[in-house]
Structure 1
Amino acid sequence: MTFKDHMFEMSHPVPDWMNGIYLKNGMGLFDYGGRNFTHPFDALAKLHSFKFEGTSKEVAFNAQFVKSNFYKIPCFVYGGKSVHALSDFWTTYEIDLSTLDTIKQVTPPMPNAGFAFGPIPSCAHPVKEFGTDNLINFYSLINPFGSHSVNVIRIKSSDETEVLASISRDEISYMHSLAATNEYVIILAHPVYINWKQIGKDAIETLEWHPERLTDIYAVHLATGEVTHLQTEALFFLHNINAYQEGDYIIVDHTTYTDMSMMHHLSMKNIRSAEADWPKSTRPQIKRIKINLTVKSVKIDNFSTQPGLEFVNQLDLPVINQNFAFKEYCYVYGMAAGDSGMQDARLVKKNLCYGVGDRVWSKENHFPSEPWFIPNPNGSGEDDGVLLTIVLDGHSDVSYLLILDGRTFEEVNLGYLPTWIPYTLHGRFFHHMCSDEKQTCS
């Protein structure tokens, strides 16, 4: 079902500093053309947007499928003056932010690509280059006849890119995100390898976990392209939280898993079953990676837990106050699943600086998705703002837009939608409103 500027009401007016569009992407269709998808990451992607204007209680709701070759794109990024839907491949799709229409397929230039075998693996979460409008990403080139390579790319626009570094690899890791400080981009090449001989099968079948191998860490200097190679234990690193420099150290905070069993357990069969078993290995742990390039050392630390709220450290789909990107910070928000996996998922707030102050939001038979934090421009602290998310009400079988106080985690606003929304993966808030014709943003 699609929607075009369908108006619904929040319980209270929204503040004027929330003017903009909240855009979410995720799985939209799990059965297509007689085929039943066995894994949610193979499902067809659908966009949902919420337009806030003035201080009105009314919000405009839009819903539209992404018109891609594969019809499945899990997340997006704001680059320059356009919005692009991304996946873990190099090709993107430009989206009209106002209508959610798919404008065109975009394949940014691939310098030094030469022969390219199969789909080009990339990263669904490129990072902004500090102090610029550029993005940093990578693409991996698979060579069936020799060494593979990971190419770290500076993206100036969809038509202009340049290679920062090319890293030779004997195996290509599946890497969903990367990290960046004001001087370095950090590649965590964990031992989850893409078996290129399996390309063409379901995506999950192409991935292989090799616990006997170490994680290769590559620190690429943004100004010179110099690469420093280090190694650490075998972990599955999924989502970067934040990264910054502190003295001689590069600090990288990340969601981690002991292996990749989570990817296999996250099947449509298990998601649809209230009796599915979710072993401990499927639960993440947030960890801090401390890299010292001077002595070439790597240390991985756990964060302290608050008694009774130990599960808060098992969060994923992390978001922070983006004003604190590249900086020392304290708060991360996300989703934490309980013993029953997605059946008892909760929104959480983690205080990384102290062992107290964690917060939890949950309701029985209510299922939230990844949140997004909007800072109060007149606020006095890092967590002064609001948290937005979409929640499925399992009692009424419809979804609602929920707004929480970023400090207290109390509900401050909500509005029920005219439909239910399948689980959304990633999203973000755009303060700039764009026109329908040329995506010109104010």
Structure 2
Amino acid sequence: MSISSSLSNAGYTSLQARSNKFPIHKLLPYQTQRTRSRTVVRSQAAPAMMEKQETAGTHPTQAAIDACFTNDISPEQVEALSLQVSGAFPTWLHGDYVRNGPGTFKGMDHLFDGYGMLVKFSFDNGKVSTQQRFVQSNAYKTFLDRGYKLKYNEFGTARPALESLPVIAAGILGIGQGFTDNATVNVFPSNADGSELLAVTESVKGTYRLDTATLATKHQEKYTDSIKGDLNTAHPKLLPSGESINIVVGFGDGYKVVKQQRESHERQEIAKIPLSQFPAPSWIHDFPITKNYVVVPETPIYFNMLAALTLGKAPYVQFDWKPETRSILHLVPLNGDTSKIRHVRAPSYFTFHYINAYGTEDGGNIHIDFGNFADPEMLNSLKLASVRSNERPVEASPITRLTVPLSGDGEATLSKLMKDDEAYTFSELPRINPHYKGQAYRYGYSVSAKLPVSYGNALSKFDMQEGTSKQWHEAGCIPVEPLMVPAPNAKSEDDGVVLSIVMGADGKSFLLCLDAGSFEELGRAHLPYGIPYGFHASFIPART
């Protein structure tokens, strides 16, 4: 159901829907030392390793960089491999941690381009084993069949120019056949018992169902509804009811908020928001949600239509940055009452991910927390030539709060959350206790930076109430998204563990387990090889 009211709030002018379609390619990673309000947590390591790491300083070692951003194709680990554990994983941790991310960067130009590979760690009474397998997408299979040559454009890598001409023509005609289905971004359980997984990317057709036990690809998901749009976010939000919410984007069309029942192949449209910069939509990788509202964040990063079709030149991979247009936050009631949709102006900002969002106790505002980049230059910093050179300073993304009014014509405002500038210079791939999603919370976890460095080299726990943080860092290493797993019968919000795959200074990976409260290391499971840089993960409790 499309919205019928004009987008008049805060001076926003509605644009008439048009029939032109411009689908493009897809869219679519112990001992504590106290200093002021910050706690730096340092892990204990063997003396030989510690000596090697100290020589690396804050920058990752070359061995870690080579293994993280490899051109090699990672071997699959089909059978479960038992891992050596140092320290201890809690015995209550029972189930599977599964992460999605590139299994190779061969022939690729950007960090977001590698072909999807699921990595699983299984926990049983303190023991840890691992498996890893590629998602058998059409894009990956044809890449192998063609001798490591692309058939589809990826986020920042174009197929050969002459081969792209039919794809460009298809896009102009409104045919999405040129979009990649490389499901490399996120993974989560697809059914109530967690026996199956969905691996996803930002193209609608890039959703694959896999078996949790074996990581074998079952099939590509197909929707049975008639909702049009070639892209959706790779971060659907699961509601307590078991339904999920997502945003579907149509070029020359609009932003559609959709609801889907678990295990259903039919989506229901809740609302449709016209494009403010027709025909180009804003890039929406993630979106905030509260108990009552879905927030469609139209920030001023817009698709460059020609670059998106051809992967030609654009200021930021395939996007334009138009800060003069500022941001518009479209607040869509979860109950589907489109007469109550609000459109609130906000300052220009750029982010990949939102930490959390919730309504204030007095019902007057929504708070939205995220890592705030001044512009999208981070997209250029994530080109593989840049990350491999390890020369560019990391882009600042301080943790910031948007306060959005739920009445009147006021605009949203930005405010700083952390007291310690050094501790919050860079924040990305954030996670929280999943039980606090969409409601008031206190703690967040993210990849962070111990400066100087070119990209995230640490993990941080943030106290949103006190504005303080704790940091884990080990010299020479590259950690990725910290996943918070609550303890059974948890007594507090931060009662649980934080899991992160870390590339070691020696080019071999380990799974790190931190106490979510103290942020001290509990244990690590050592792999005999390196796992390339990856993105998002889920924890699937053991079935009883």
Q: How much has 1:63 moved relative to structure 2? A: 0.9
SS of the counterpart of 1:18?
Answer: coil
User: Are residues 1:371 and 2:516 paired?
Assistant: no
1:237 matched to 2:351? The reply is yes
What are the Cα deviations for residues 66-103 of structure 1, in whole angstroms up to 9, with x where unaligned? 11123332112223343111111222111211111111
Q: Work out whether 1:400 is the aligned partner of 2:510.
A: yes
Q: Give the one of 198, 202, 212 matched to 1:88.
A: 202
In the TM superposition, residue 313 of structure 1 has moved relative to its aligned partner by: 5.1
- Which position in structure 1 is the counterpart of 2:398? 285
Judged with a 3 Å threshold, the aligned counterparts in structure 2 of structure 1 residues 44 and 14 are, in CA distance, closer, same or farther, namely same
What's the counterpart of residue 431 of structure 1? 541
- 2:175 alignment partner in structure 1: none
Distance 1:112 1:327, change over 3 A: closer
What amino acid does structure 1 have at the position aligned with 2:424?
V
Question: CA–CA distance in 1 between the matches of 2:111 and 2:310?
Answer: 15
Structure 2 CA distance for partners of 1:109 and 1:196, relative to 1, 3 Å: farther
**SS of residue matched to 1:197:** helix
Give the letter for the 1:124 counterpart: A
Q: Is the 8 A contact 1:88 1:121 kept in 2?
A: yes
Alpha-carbon distance between aligned partners in 2 of 1:418 and 1:355, rounded to the nearest angstrom: 39
The letter for the 2-side match of 1:37 is: M
Q: Which of 346, 366, 371 is matched with 1:255 structurally? A: 371
Give how far 1:305 is off.
3.0
The answer to whether the Cα contact below 8 Å between 1:320 and 1:333 also exists between their aligned partners in 2 is yes
For residue 138 of structure 1, what is the aligned residue in structure 2?
Answer: 247
Task: Indicate how the Cα distance of structure 1 residues 191 and 110 shifts in structure 2: closer, same or farther if over 3 A, else same.
Answer: farther
Could you tell me how far 1:284 is from its partner in structure 2? 1.1
Unaligned ranges ≥5, structure 1: 434-441
2:347/2:414 contact within 8 Å kept: no
TM-score (norm 2): 0.72
Aligned to 2:272: 166
Q: Does 363-372 or 245-254 show the bigger shift?
A: 245-254
Q: Which has the higher contact order (CA 8 A, sep 6+)?
A: 2
Amino acid at match of 1:2: E
Match of 2:119 in 1: 48
Looking at structure 1, the residues matched to 419 and 486 of structure 2 have their Cα atoms a distance apart, in angstroms, of 25
Q: Post-superposition shift, 1:234?
A: 1.3
Following superposition, the deviation at residue 323 of structure 1 comes to 1.5
- Partner of 1:107, secondary structure, is coil
Q: What is the Cα-based RMSD across aligned positions, in Å? A: 2.0
Counterpart AA for 1:430: I
Task: Report which of the two structures shows the higher radius of gyration computed on alpha carbons.
Answer: 2
Q: 1:183 to 1:304 in 2, by over 3 A?
A: closer
Q: Please give the per-residue CA displacement for 1:309-362, whole angstroms capped at 9, x wherever unaligned.
A: 633352111010111112211100001134444456110011100133x10100
Partner of 1:413: 523
Q: Which residue of 2 aligns with 1:106?
A: 221
Shift of 1:24: 1.0
Report whether the alignment pairs 1:62 with 2:131. Answer: yes
Give the whole-Å Cα distance in 2 for the aligned partners of 1:188 and 1:223.
19
CA contact 1:136–1:153 (8 Å) conserved in 2: yes
Q: 1:325 aligns with which of 423, 437, 446?
A: 437
User: Does residue 269 in structure 1 map to residue 385 in structure 2?
Assistant: yes
TM-score, normalization by structure 1? 0.88
Query: Is the 1:188–1:237 contact (alpha carbons within 8 Å) kept by the matching residues of 2?
Result: no
Q: Does the Cα contact within 8 Å between 1:79 and 1:135 map onto a contact in 2?
A: no
Whole-angstrom distance in 2 between the partners of 1:107 and 1:284: 37
Q: Compared with structure 1, are the counterparts of its residues 168 and 101 closer, same or farther at alpha carbon in structure 2 (3 Å cutoff)?
A: same
Give the CA deviation at 1:126: 1.0
Q: Is 1:8 paired with 2:83?
A: yes
Q: 1:101 to 1:220 in 2, by over 3 A?
A: same
Q: How does 1:384-395 map to 2 (within 5 A)?
A: 384-394=495-505
Report the number of matched residues. Answer: 412
- CA deviations over 1:155-187 (Å, ceiling 9, x no partner): 114412100001111230111001111111001
Compared CA separation, residues 316 and 343, structure 1 to 2 (3 A):
closer
Counterparts in 2 of 1:112 and 1:375: CA distance versus 1, 3 Å? closer
**Could you say which structure has the higher strand fraction?**
1
Amino acid at match of 1:151: K
| Contact 2:393-2:455 at 8 Å conserved across structures | no
Matched, 1:123 2:233: yes
Q: Report the more deviating stretch, 421-430 or 285-294.
A: 285-294
Counterpart Cα distance in 2 of 1:238 and 1:321: 19
Unaligned runs of 5+ in 2: 1-74, 141-181
In 1, Cα distance between equivalents of 2:104 and 2:294: 35
Shift of 1:15: 2.8
Q: Shift of residue 106 of structure 1?
A: 0.8
Structure 2 counterpart of 1:220, from 319, 325, 332? 332
Match for 2:97 among 9, 22, 42?
A: 22
Identity of aligned residues (%): 27
Report the Cα distance in structure 1 between the residues aligned to 2:227 and 2:523, rounded to whole angstroms. Answer: 51
- 1:78 maps to 189
Q: Aligned-pair distance for 1:150?
A: 0.9
Contact 1:90 1:121 survives alignment (8 Å): yes
Query: SS of the residue aligned with 2:389?
Result: coil
Write the distance in 2 (CA, Å) between the matches of 1:375 and 1:99. Answer: 25
- Using the TM superposition, give the Cα deviation of residue 37 of structure 1 relative to its aligned residue in structure 2, in angstroms: 1.0
